[in-house]
Amino acid sequence: MKSKTYDAVNKAWKSTCKVLFGTEVGELEDFEKWLNSHMPTPQLETSSFSGKSVALPCSDYGRHDYAKGAHFTSFDEIKFGTKFKPLNINEVKDIDMIIAALGERLAYCGNIVLGNSAYVEKSADVINSSFVLSSSLVGDSRYISHSIWVYESQYCFGNFGAWKNMHSIMLSGGEYVRCFECHSGEVNSDCYYCGSPKNCSNCMFSFGIQNKRNMIGNLELPKEKYAQIKASLTSHMADTLRKEKRIFSLFDILDGCRKYPHEKLQMPQEEKQKPFDITPIEKSFGATTGILLGKPLCGIDSYSRFLQRHVPSNKHIASPFSGQKVVLAGYRAFLSSLYNLEGRMVTESEVRQIGKLPSKMEKISKMQATMGSVCETLHEIAYSDLDKQYGNNTNNFDCSVVVNAHDCYKGSAYSHCKKCAYSFWPFGCEQVFGSYNSWNCQFCINCYNSKKLSRCFETDCSYECSDGYFLHNCENVRDSMFCFNTKNLHNAIGNAQLEKGKYSGIKDALVSQMHAELEKKKGLKWDIYNIGAGKA
C-alpha cells in the first residue's frame, strides 16, 4: 500500500503529464530511475540512535559533505526543548575542547522538515512545503518529486535549480510553466527540448532563442502549423515514455550532435566589458569578517580554499567557434561528466547568435521525436551553455547563472544579490561569502542550506538565526555557538543557555582564536561539516 504522500504526488505527476502530452504515461514510481538520472539525490545514512534511515542533501553529484564517522539522527527523533548542562570552565577554553566535550550532542540531522510543511517523504531540507517526495533543498513549494534546489514551485518532477516553475519535467532554470527538458533558460512557457531559451512560449527543439513564439527548431511557424507539428511530436514522446519509462534528454542531443562537423558561423565580436572592480568585494569581505571575527581579514583570494571548501567551483571549456572561455556553472558542471559536451558549449553572446539562425522547413516537417532524427535535422544549431545572464547585472567576475546581481565574484547562481563571493545560489543575499544555497541572508560566511540568517558563521540547515557560530538544524537561535538540533535559544553554547556576560566572554575568546588561525593559516581546522565527527 502506497503512502498518502506518494498517492498525492503520483496524481500530480499524472496531471502534469496530461498537461504536457495530452495523456498520462504511467505511474510515477516507474520513472524514478529516469527522473534521477542527472541530478544529485538525497543520500541515506543510518541514525546512530534508532537505526532508521536518514535522508541528507547531497551537495554535488556524489556523497554529502558530512565527515565520515559522524553521528546522524532523524528530525522526528529530536526532542526540542531538552535542557542540557552547561560545559564547565575547563571545557570551553578552545574549540577542540568544546567539540570533545559535546560528543553525541553534535549529531547531524536528516529528514529535516522546517516551517509549515506536511506530507514530506524520503526528502531532506524542506521548508514551508507539502507533498514532497525523494527531493532535497525544497522551499515554499508543493507537489515536488525527484528534484533538488526547488523554490516557490509546484508540480515539478526531475527539476534541478528551479524557481517559480509549474507543471515542469526535467528542467533547470527559473519561471518555466508547462515545460519539458529545457535548460539554462528563464521565463518560458509551453516549451520542449529548448537550450538557453529566454522569454519564449510554444517552442520545441530550439536553441539560443529569445522573445520567440511558435518555433520548431529555430523556425517560426504559423500558429496552426506549429500546433499540428507539436501534436505529432508530443504524441510520439508520450508513446516513448509509456513504453520505455524514459526518453532522451537535451544533453543527449548535444552529445549526439558532436559527430557532425561545426558549421562555419560568423560570430559577433564579444562586447567589451567594463573592467571588473574588486574593491567592493574586498571592502565587504573585510567588513563582514570584522563583524563576525572582531577584526577584518584582508585579501579575499588568499582565503579561496577556505571559502570554497563546500561550494562547487565553476569549470571552463573553450568555445568551438571563437576559442573563448565558456563558463560551466559549478552546480551544473557535473553534467559534463555524464555527457560529453565538448564542442557544443558556447558563450552567452554566441548562443544568442545561434538563436538567430533559421532552420529549414523541408527538414523540420520531416523531423520525428527521436534523438537520431533530431540530431540529423538540427545539428547545425544544437549548441547551448550551462550559464545564464538575465536581468540587470553589474560588476561581476567569473560568475555563472547570474540574475539581477551586482558586485559578485567567483561562484554560480547569483540571484537578486550583491557583494557576494565564492558562493552558490545566495538568493536575495548581501555580503555572503563561501556559502551554499543560502537565501535571504546577510553578513554571513560559510553558511549552507539555510534561510534568513544574519551575521552567522559555519552554519548549516538553519532558519531565522542570527549571530551564530557552528550551528546545525537550528531555528530562531540567536547569539549562540556549537548548537545542534534546537530552537529558540540565545546566549547558548552546546544547546545550554548561559548568562549573557558569561556567554560573551567565552565567545570573544573563541572568535579571537578563529581570527588568529585564519589570518595565519588562511583556513580553519574545524568546520560545520566535520565537528560532528570529532575529527578534522
How many CA atoms, within 13 angstroms, populate the side-chain half-sphere of residue 101?
A: 21
CA angle 275, 432, 500 (to 5 degrees): 145
Q: Tens digit of pLDDT for each residue in 133-177?
A: 999 999 999 999 999 999 999 999 999 989 999 999 999 999 999
The residue segments making up the domain with residue 485 are 279-311+391-533
**14 within some domain:** no
* Residue 418 lies inside a defined structural domain of this protein: yes
SS3 415: strand
State the Cα–Cα distance between residues 145 and 131, nearest whole angstrom. 8
DSSP SS3 for 184: strand
d(CA 123, CA 47): 15
Across 57-71, 96-110, 189-203, least confident range: 57-71
What are the residues facing 110 on neighbouring strands?
A: 74
Q: Is residue 515 part of a domain?
A: yes
What's the rounded Cα separation, in Å, for the pair 397 and 412?
Answer: 11
Q: Is the pLDDT of residue 89 over 90?
A: no
Residue 18 has pLDDT above 60, yes or no: yes
CA distance 338 to 287: 41
pLDDT-derived band at 61 (thresholds 50, 70, 90) equals low
User: In the structure, what pLDDT confidence band is assigned to residue 386 with cuts at 50, 70 and 90?
Assistant: confident
d(CA 114, CA 450): 11
CB atoms within 10 A of CB 116: 10
The crossing angle, in degrees rounded to 10, of helices 4-21 and 223-244 is 140
Helix H or strand E segment including 338? helix 335-338
The pLDDT value given to residue 268 = 65
Q: Give residue 485's pLDDT.
A: 96
List the one residue out of 363, 361, 354 whose CA is nearest residue 381. 354
Structural domain count of the chain: 1
How far is 449 from 456, CA to CA, in rounded Å? 13
Q: Is 76 exposed, middle or buried (0-12, 13-18, 19+ CB in 10 A)?
A: exposed
- Looking at the DSSP bridge assignments, the partners of residue 118 are 130
Kind of pairing, strands 490-493 and 463-475?
A: unpaired
User: 483 with 80: CB under 8 angstroms?
Assistant: no
Task: Tell me what pLDDT residue 536 has.
Answer: 75
Query: For all residues of the chain together, what is the average pLDDT?
Result: 94
3-state secondary structure of 322: coil
Instruction: Return the pLDDT at 478.
Output: 98
Provide the Cα torsion 476, 432, 57, 197; round to 10°.
130
What phi, psi does 93 have (nearest 5°)?
A: -75, -35
CA 528 to chain centre: 19
List C-alpha distances in Å: 463 to 47, 114, 123.
23, 8, 17
Sequence-ordered list of residues with C-beta below 8 angstroms from that of 115, at least 6 positions apart, any chain: 127, 128, 463
CA distance 59 to 56: 9
Quick one: DSSP state of residue 104?
G
Averaged pLDDT for residues 84-105:
92
CA distance 536 to 527: 8
171 compared with 332, residue with greater pLDDT: 171
Q: What is the pLDDT of residue 270?
A: 64
Buried b (16+ CB within 10 A) or exposed e, 370-386: ebeebbbbbbbbbbbbb
Q: Decide if pLDDT at 272 tops 80.
A: no
List Cβ<8 Å contacts ≥24 apart for 279-288: 280/395, 280/407, 280/419, 281/407, 281/408, 281/409, 281/419, 281/421, 284/407, 284/419, 284/431, 285/421, 285/433, 287/431, 287/443, 288/431, 288/433, 288/443, 288/444, 288/445
Segment 34-57, tens digit of pLDDT: 999 987 778 889 999 999 999 898
What pLDDT shows up at residue 104?
A: 87
Residue 330 lies in a domain: no
Sequence-distant (≥ 6) Cβ neighbours of residue 107 within 8 angstroms: 48, 49, 70, 71, 72, 73, 484, 485, 532
Residues whose CB is less than 8 angstroms from the CB of residue 125 and which lie 6 or more positions away in sequence, other chains included: 57, 112, 136, 137, 138, 449, 461
In a 13 Å sphere around the CA of 481, the CA atoms on its Cβ side amount to 23
Please tell me the number of Cα atoms within 13 Å of 385 on its side-chain side.
32
pLDDT, residue 146, reads 96
Give CA–CA dist 371/360, Å, rounded. 18
Average pLDDT score over residue span 17-33: 98
Per the CB < 8 A criterion, the answer to whether 429 and 439 are in contact is yes
Percent of the chain exceeding pLDDT 90 equals 84
Instruction: Answer whether residue 184 is part of any domain.
Output: no
